[in-house]
Amino acid sequence: MTDMTAIVTGAGQGFGLALTAALAARGTTVFACARDGGRLRAATAGLPGVVALPGDVTDPRFRKELVSAAGRLDLLVHNAGELGPSPLPVLGRYPLDALRGVLETTVLAPLALTQLALPLLRASATGTVITLSSDAAVEAYPGWGGYGSAKAALDHLAAVLAVEEPALRVYAFDPGDMRTAMHQRAFPGEDISDRPEPESVTPALLRLLDRRPESGRYRAADLSDGAPTPGAGATAQPAGSTT
């Protein structure tokens, strides 16, 4: 899958940026978006075929501009998400306004953007939607109730969309722990240098795109080079992964 057009949200840093660079290296035209326009432009400068479009995916007008700018679309990657308060609060003291923000960015915005993009994705021979998952969506970790419940909802949206749009491929992709700014916010003051860089995880997602198995939930850990692609609905990995 090289001659294609993609939208990647949350592309200014972390896994979104690593994936944008990897797709660009394959000849993909990538419409990369992120809230911080300066950081997005600086990060993607020089990447061939990358169009930087600063904006907030929770903004309905920006979502329309993003889909309109793409014109055609083969791949939609919902990488943007919201961790919530840091340090992570337990549910008994979770600020409800903060949880609304987590759900708005992580669940509602991806659904709204998908709705707009569906006509373009249906017109593609390889129409694919990817949502970034986490094992916090399927495992109960103290403090991860807000983020985890949002990712669980996003997982289920992806699963239902796959049933409703059988001509598309819809993947919930769990990258595992990574050394990102969001992951550092989840563990303030802790050393997370033992986590892998996002660039080391992107090959797993590229293999998923190349192999195009049935729609479902897949873990990066199960997509190692040379390993058979696991069946849909693979179990989650241990440790609190964030994107």
Place of tokens 């049933």: 163
Tell me 168's DSSP state.
S
* Active-site hit among 94, 147, 171, 218: 147
Rounded alpha-carbon distances, angstroms, from residue 178 to 15, 181, 184, 195, 242: 8, 9, 9, 5, 7
With residues binned 3-state (H G I as helix, E B as strand, rest as coil), the percentages for the chain, rounded to 5, are 45, 15, 40
Q: How far apart are alpha carbons 48 and 204 in whole angstroms?
A: 22
Q: Is 147:98 a contact under the CB 8 Å cutoff?
A: no
Question: How many CB atoms are located within 10 Å of the residue 186 CB?
Answer: 21
Instruction: Identify the CA nearest to 182 among candidates 105, 74, 93.
Output: 105
- The pair of structure tokens assigned to 212 is 């195009």
Residue 147 annotated among the catalytic residues of the structure: yes
Half-sphere exposure of 107 (CA within 13 A, CB side): 19
- Whether residue 88 contacts residue 186, with contact meaning beta carbons closer than 8 Å, is answered with yes
Q: Cβ distance 130 to 75 under 8 Å?
A: yes
Is there a contact between 78 and 129 (Cβ–Cβ < 8 Å)? Answer: yes
Catalytic residues: 147
